[in-house]
């Protein structure tokens, strides 16, 4: 896809990350021109090769930390973007408990800098990467956006909740910003081309990359963290969404903001499939789809895990004209194809 000179430019912070890179592809497919900013602290430069293979051309990428005010100002001066999608943040739940100030400094300062620079350069549209972790364990399921946020389960989750408040308060001040905070559920899978996917650094904390690494023989066994929950098979329930569906939701969110003829607006929207799946069903579906028998054991509960959370997606369907289209089976097939590809390297 060759860029037309007048494709509207979108700043994608963290655009070399798992969700960011898939969103870059969806942006180009939708006629936008992404401008990536990434410090590659939690992503690999090979992602740019994957993007080039899929898109047939390079995507502008600045190597910079989003807390570097001089670097970020220079990018706003050089690139006439019409919107920002802000992915860049540290996101390891466990690490955030050990190093809370690293998370508060990085995740909050980068957002505040963006909110200061955007109005200065006439940029009004912001799509923010938030998380269902702000709900904690909801009392009602599926969880709606009206559900009060619960005290965060981790400093990481707290940075997401505080970020939402920072954006809301900024929008409510005389600052011309229109913002949507997308509360992701559990992103899984990979681009069907197997040119992009999840690249967990070290031992994966998340379920699906641990499954694919176990299936690939990188990990000897998967531990299922508890089977004594009050769920059909005793294991936790989550809403697993294909990363490409999630990427496409960001394009719809940008379009929504572009259409709004108001100076300021703010809203939060759940981005999930609306379906809850147990851990054991993820394992069973993976085995069925790949023909690989997974070596797993049942272990103790993981501290901080909620029992079950899955999305009410009525608002996303209505306000974004968006629905997750890919099945769990497709997500797991794509995750496995990606794992097989990177295991060959
Ligand atoms: C899913 C389920 C585990 C690993 C986290 C973040 C959240 C968001 C998504 C960023 C749970 C179980 C896991 C394993 C297991 N990230 N599990 N064995 O915890 O729902 O959400 O990632 O925004 O903020 O909190 O995802 O994939 O870690 O766990 O049994 O080796 O799989 O107990 O029930 P989680 P997860």
Omega of the bond leading into 309 within 30 degrees of 0 (cis):
no
Phi, psi of 260 (to 5 degrees): -70, 120
Residue 283 lies in a domain: no
Residue 187 alpha carbon, nearest atom of ligand 1: 9
Residue 306 alpha carbon, nearest atom of ligand 1: 34
Q: For residue range 109-155, list pLDDT tens digits in order.
A: 999 999 999 999 999 999 999 999 999 999 999 999 999 988 888 99
Number of domains observed in the structure of the chain: 1
Here the CATH number for the domain that contains residue 19 is 3.40.50.720
Residue 225 lies in a domain: no
Residue 250 lies in a domain: yes
pLDDT reading at 1 higher than 70: no
* Structural domain containing residue 50: 9-188+242-272+311-324
Residues 6+ apart with CB under 8 A from 341: 194, 197
Q: From the CA of 237, how far away is ligand 1's center (Å)?
A: 10
Q: What is the 3-state secondary structure (H, E, C) of the chain?
A: CCCCCCCCEEEEECCCCHHHHHHHHHHHHCCCEEEEEECCCCCCCHHHHHHHHHHCCCCEEEECCCCCHHHHHHHHHHCCEEEEEECCCCCCHHHHHHCHHHHHHHHHHHHHHHHHHHHHCCCCEEEEEEEHHHHCCCCCCCECCCCCCCCCCCHHHHHHHHHHHHHHHHHHCCCCCEEEEEEECEEECCCCCCCCCCCCCCCCCCHHHHHHHHHCCCCCCEEEECCCCCCCCCCCEECEEEHHHHHHHHHHHHHHHHHCCCCCEEEEEEECCCCCEEHHHHHHHHHHHHCCCCCEEEECCCCCCCCECCECCHHHHHHCCCCCCCCHHHHHHHHHHHHHHHHCC
What pLDDT, on a 0 to 100 scale, did the predictor assign at position 304? 86
Give the Cα separation of 123 and 117 in Å (integer).
8
Q: From the CA of 225, how far away is ligand 1's center (Å)?
A: 10
Residue 162 lies in a domain: yes
Residue 102 lies in a domain: yes
Protein residues with CB under 6 Å of any ligand 1 atom: 91, 93, 131, 133, 184, 186, 205-207, 210, 222-225, 236, 238, 279, 302, 305
Q: What is the mean pLDDT of residues 220-228?
A: 98
Residue 184 alpha carbon, nearest atom of ligand 1: 23
Q: For residue range 274-301, list pLDDT tens digits in order.
A: 999 999 999 999 999 999 999 999 999 9
Q: What is the mean pLDDT of residues 213-228?
A: 98
Q: What whole-number percentage of the chain has pLDDT above 70? A: 99
Residue 335 lies in a domain: no
pTM of the model: 0.97
Per the structure block, which two tokens stand in for 220? Answer: 């000897």
Q: For residue range 159-197, list pLDDT tens digits in order.
A: 999 999 999 999 999 989 999 999 999 999 999 999 999
For residues 67, 73, 75, 77, the Cα torsion angle rounded to the nearest 10 degrees is 170
Residue 330 lies in a domain: no
Which of these is catalytic: 90, 103, 135, 156? 156
Q: From the CA of 18, how far away is ligand 1's center (Å)?
A: 15
Mean pLDDT of the chain: 96
Q: For residue range 35-87, list pLDDT tens digits in order.
A: 999 999 999 999 999 999 999 999 999 999 999 999 999 999 999 999 999 99
Residue 277 lies in a domain: no
Q: From the CA of 58, how far away is ligand 1's center (Å)?
A: 33
Per the structure block, which two tokens stand in for 223? Answer: 């531990």
Annotated active-site residue 156? The verdict is yes
């Amino acid at each position: 896809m060759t860029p037309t000179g007048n494709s509207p430019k979108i700043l994608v912070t963290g655009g070399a990350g798992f969700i960011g890179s898939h969103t870059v592809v969806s942006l180009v497919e939708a006629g936008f021109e992404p401008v990536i900013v990434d410090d590659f602290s939690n992503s690999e430069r090979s992602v740019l090769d994957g993007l080039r293979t899929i898109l047939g051309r390079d995507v502008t990428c600045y190597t910079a930390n989003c807390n570097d005010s001089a670097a970020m100002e220079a990018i706003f001066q050089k690139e006439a973007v019409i919107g920002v999608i802000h992915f860049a943040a540290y996101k390891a739940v466990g690490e955030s408990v050990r190093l809370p100030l690293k998370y508060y400094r990085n995740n909050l300062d980068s957002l505040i800098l963006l909110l200061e620079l955007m109005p200065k350069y006439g940029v009004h549209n912001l799509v923010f990467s938030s998380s269902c972790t702000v709900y904690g364990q909801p009392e009602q399921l599926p969880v709606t956006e009206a559900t009060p946020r619960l005290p965060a389960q981790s400093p990481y989750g707290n940075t997401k909740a505080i970020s939402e408040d920072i954006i809301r308060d900024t929008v409510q001040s005389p600052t011309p910003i229109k913002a949507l905070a997308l509360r992701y559920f559990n992103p899984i899978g990979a681009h069907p081309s197997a040119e992009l996917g999840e690249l967990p650094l070290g031992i994966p904390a998340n379920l699906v990359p641990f499954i694919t690494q176990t299936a690939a023989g990188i990990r000897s066994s998967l531990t299922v963290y508890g089977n004594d929950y009050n769920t059909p098979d005793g294991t936790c329930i989550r809403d697993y969404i294909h990363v490409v569906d999630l990427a496409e939701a960001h394009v719809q969110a940008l379009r929504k903001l572009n259409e709004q003829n108001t100076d300021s607006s703010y809203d939060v929207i759940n981005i999930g499939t609306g379906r809850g799946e147990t851990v054991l069903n993820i394992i069973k579906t993976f085995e069925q789809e790949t023909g690989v028998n997974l070596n797993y054991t049942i272990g103790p509960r993981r501290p901080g895990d909620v029992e079950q959370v899955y999305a009410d997606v009525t608002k996303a369907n209505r306000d974004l004209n968006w629905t997750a289209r890919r099945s769990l089976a497709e997500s797991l097939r794509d995750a496995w194809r990606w794992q097989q590809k990177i295991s060959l390297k």
